[in-house]
Structure 1
Amino acid sequence: MTGNSDQADPHSLLFMSVDLVGSTSYKQQKGSDWPRKFLQFYREFPQALAEVQSDVSSVRFSMWKPIGDELIFTCRVNHEAEVVDAVRTWLAAMRQYEERSLSDVPLKTKGGAFIATFPGPDTQATAPLDPFTETSSRDVLDLNDDALRERDRDRFIYDYIGPSIDTGFRILSACDQRYFTMSIEVAWAFSWGVRGLQQKSPDIAYLGERDFKGVWGGRRYPVVAIDRQFEDAVNEAIRGMSSTAAVDVEALCKACLESEGWPSRMYLPKSDFAPFKRLPEDALREHRVRDVDGIENVATELVPAPANAEMSQLPMGDEDTTSEPGTTGTLPPAGSMPESSLA
């Protein structure tokens, strides 16, 4: 049984999203002229990100996938300060892209962020590009591990699956042009990182609880966001009128992650904060142990004959190989060997 290639390298990935606001109506109003603006989005936002990112040495973004009018990048993070840098860099890129590329059209951007952790509770998944190239009956965990080690993008599609991914997309659905929504893991790391950098984050906002289908056993999820329009005079006046007490983001996040059934985790190995450094467990560990136990159980049934056994005691291929009760050193009857031992 091969080992999980993720297990030797536990880590967290920060997923960052940017989406176009008003894209559906723009396409319908502009007729055949709309493709150019969206093709520009696929090129010009990454360029804006690269330009802003060049001033920040701690983070490096990589494209995960485009989904229609949305681009999702990933960034590996090892410390809460890197989460702060990544989020601030991303927001700066969104602002720069709006100013340079969307000033002449009725389009804006929105986005959000979430963290997934490997090898558990999340995992990397692979699938063959050509369904006719993989006919092996080997265990799917072994096939997936082999593909992860090969990293052959001409043969396989690589993706991420897990509860953090599912939850993350629910969180992204709650964002809008003003509020950049964050998973609880991102919010906690961001808040703690800002404090460690002796900065302030008055733009963090608590938006209340939302019903996210299938998340946290049906319990309402607390949504934390960064207010991209925090400095707007009207918004500032409204905040002053609010009777809602300020939410302690760190206390909220800590309580969530320690609650029963919380779906996500994060792993920041270079953090100075112990709760962020807990080593993740392999989400597939139980399946691997079960498979290994099955192989070992089969092996105990195949006890080899003693070295000094007489030749007459060993089957030559044409005898009846069925063992009598109490005999040892014989193979099971032909056709009775468990399939799991024939991998």
Structure 2
Amino acid sequence: MKINEATEELINEYEKTKKEQKEIKNLKQSAVLFFSFDITDSSKYKTMNYLYWPIIINRLLKYIEREVLENLEECQLWRILGDEIIFIKQVSSLEELWNDIKIINDRKDFIINSLKNGNFFEKDLDIINNENLKKSMHLNNTLSLKSAAWIGLIIDQTKKNDYFSHPYGNIEIIYKSQKLGENYQIYEFLGNDIDAGFRISKAVTSQNFVISFELAYFLYKYMKNISEQKLEKDITKENNNLMHVITYKKFKGIWDEKLYPVIWYYKGKAEKLEENFHYNDYLNNEIIKEFIDNRDKLEKSKIINGIKKEMFTINDYFFEKIINDNNLSKKINEIEKNIIDTPKNELVNTPTKLELHCAVMCYKNKEEPEILIAKRSKDREYEPEKWEFGCAKAEITQKLSDKIKDEYKKDFNIDIELELETDREDQQPKPLTIYTVNKRGDYHQGIIFIAKIKNDKDFNYDHSKFSDAKFVKESEIDSISGKKVKDFKNSLQKGFDYIKKKGENE
């Protein structure tokens, strides 16, 4: 009898194990891009600007968040750790991954330039009337940014009671606060790739952008795919002007603490990269010292600190050698499979916030008016390659009219004067018409306003958002070729009618 009971128990345990293994196999995995922006020299800035630093740092973090979310619409804010802000985005193709990294780098450079030339301090603060703040904000270009990006597989176990083992060890966990209620949730990602990302994020200096080995591999593979007709040396040259092996370092818990290649993403030759360094960095920064020393040794020796010269060049040999030596082939294949085959889902299920989109018909030449129209770039997720009027999103941290003016200055380099409701004490932009924006099944609202262009001397458009922009007359409405957003012609005609009527009444 006891033998039968033991046998039955073993059979039940076997069936349970089979069921669990099947569940593991069926668990959904997502290839997720993690990327961060870290404010550099913030401690020094806080000491220098001890009265106003909380205002500046808080606004800068919000500024970074806004720039990222407006340009990478499917990404989500994960967390803010001190002066570092981290985002996540599920990717579903190598092309998407390539474009995402390009946009992240572009936004980094844009924000750094905004800090350098003072535009951030002049435009993003509504407390500019404080004279002491004006003097203290900029403070010798102290603040800057550095960035990091890495990729990993995330397995959704949030609906499970047990945490099943997984070959790559990255899981999503939701913590719920008993005191704050069920709706307050903290989303956490745990695993080797998450740890690796935080480790490599420290191996980069101000103004630069470090990426993980796996991410560099997929960028290289995409580059090769689109360059099949080019000679191998051309491919190598392009990649070496985009990704640079800075040095090799050991990171705690990563690759059994074998040497890990520190790869920086930088569009240009290594010689130009050195121009970003401060003259004192060689003595004070270990990474920069190793990079400069290694470059000198590359010209004279075949072995640099025990590593073959070829391992400092981004090419097939570099990736094949590291993948084989570290047994990464299965992991790389699994990530790529999930990049291509897995449908997208929300990584952090936060309630959708209502968005208010503000399009503006900007016109010039009151006697023979012309209205600005812009064609969305092919890379835009919503309404790509369609003519529209530009757009700004309302923010709770800025007055609506100021936000609209700033956005159109940034996107088209024009100064505008909005039509206001002058009969009210609270003078707000005067609506021309209302429209609806459908994003992932959520309905957001949009308003079209009218504005006179005060200055378009240096008119230009943001090429990351638009593929074309021009001014059109009323007689040209029917001749505008290409796809258009809904009710484009109707709205354009309403704009011309309003401008003419306004002219008649003046």
Percent identical among aligned pairs is 18
Aligned match for 1:109, one of 145, 162, 180: 145
- State the secondary structure of the residue aligned to 1:31: coil
Match of 1:14 in 2: 33
Match of 2:53 in 1: 34
Structure 1 position 155, deviation (Å): 4.8
Match of 1:127 in 2: 175
- Would the alpha carbon gap of residues 113 and 6 (structure 1) be closer, same or farther in structure 2, given more than 3 Å must change? farther
Partners of 2:243 and 2:314 within 8 A in 1: no
1:308-319 superposed matches below 5 A = none
Say which structure, 1 or 2, has more relative contact order (CA 8 Å, 6+ apart): 1
Partners of 2:91 and 2:339 within 8 A in 1: no
- State the secondary structure of the residue aligned to 1:90: helix
1:1-343 superposed matches below 5 A = 7-53=26-72, 60-104=74-118, 105-119=141-155, 120=166, 121=168, 122-130=170-178, 154-198=183-227, 200-201=238-239, 202-227=241-266, 230=269, 233=272, 235=274, 243=299, 247-260=313-326, 265=332, 267-269=335-337
- State the secondary structure of the residue aligned to 2:221: helix
Which 10-residue stretch deviates more, 108-117 or 171-180?
Answer: 171-180
Structure 1 position 131, deviation (Å): 7.4
How far apart, CA to CA, are the structure 2 residues paired with 1:210 and 1:21?
22
- State the secondary structure of the residue aligned to 1:89: helix
Structure 1 position 31, deviation (Å): 0.9
* Code of the aligned partner of 2:199: R
Partners of 1:79 and 1:270 within 8 A in 2: no
Structure 1 position 186, deviation (Å): 0.4
How far apart, CA to CA, are the structure 2 residues paired with 1:254 and 1:234?
26
- State the secondary structure of the residue aligned to 2:67: helix
Structure 1 gap ranges (5+): 55-59, 134-151, 279-343
Greater fraction strand: 2
* Code of the aligned partner of 2:212: S
How far apart, CA to CA, are the structure 2 residues paired with 1:131 and 1:209?
46
* Code of the aligned partner of 1:269: K
Q: TM-score, normalized by length of structure 1?
A: 0.63
Partners of 1:210 and 1:222 within 8 A in 2: yes
Structure 1 position 73, deviation (Å): 0.5
Structure 1 position 102, deviation (Å): 4.5
Structure 1 position 252, deviation (Å): 2.8
How far apart, CA to CA, are the structure 1 residues paired with 2:25 and 2:76?
18
* Code of the aligned partner of 1:127: Y
Match of 1:288 in 2: none
* Code of the aligned partner of 2:62: R
How far apart, CA to CA, are the structure 1 residues paired with 2:25 and 2:184?
20
Structure 2 gap ranges (5+): 1-15, 119-140, 156-165, 228-234, 276-291, 300-308, 343-506
Structure 1 position 107, deviation (Å): 1.2
Q: CA offsets per residue over residues 231-273 of structure 1, 9 Å max, x none?
A: 875848x87995255513443334434445659655233778x
Match of 1:311 in 2: none
Partners of 1:207 and 1:225 within 8 A in 2: yes
Structure 1 position 160, deviation (Å): 0.5
Q: TM-score, normalized by length of structure 2?
A: 0.44
- Would the alpha carbon gap of residues 251 and 79 (structure 1) be closer, same or farther in structure 2, given more than 3 Å must change? farther
Which 10-residue stretch deviates more, 243-252 or 119-128?
Answer: 243-252
Structure 1 position 35, deviation (Å): 1.3
* Code of the aligned partner of 1:77: V
Q: CA offsets per residue over residues 274-333 of structure 1, 9 Å max, x none?
A: xxx89xxxxxxxxxxxxxxxxxxxxxxxxxxxxxxxxxxxxxxxxxxxxxxxxxxxxxxx
Structure 1 position 52, deviation (Å): 3.7
- Would the alpha carbon gap of residues 116 and 21 (structure 1) be closer, same or farther in structure 2, given more than 3 Å must change? same
How far apart, CA to CA, are the structure 1 residues paired with 2:252 and 2:93?
31
How far apart, CA to CA, are the structure 2 residues paired with 1:227 and 1:178?
10
Partners of 1:175 and 1:181 within 8 A in 2: yes
- State the secondary structure of the residue aligned to 1:267: helix
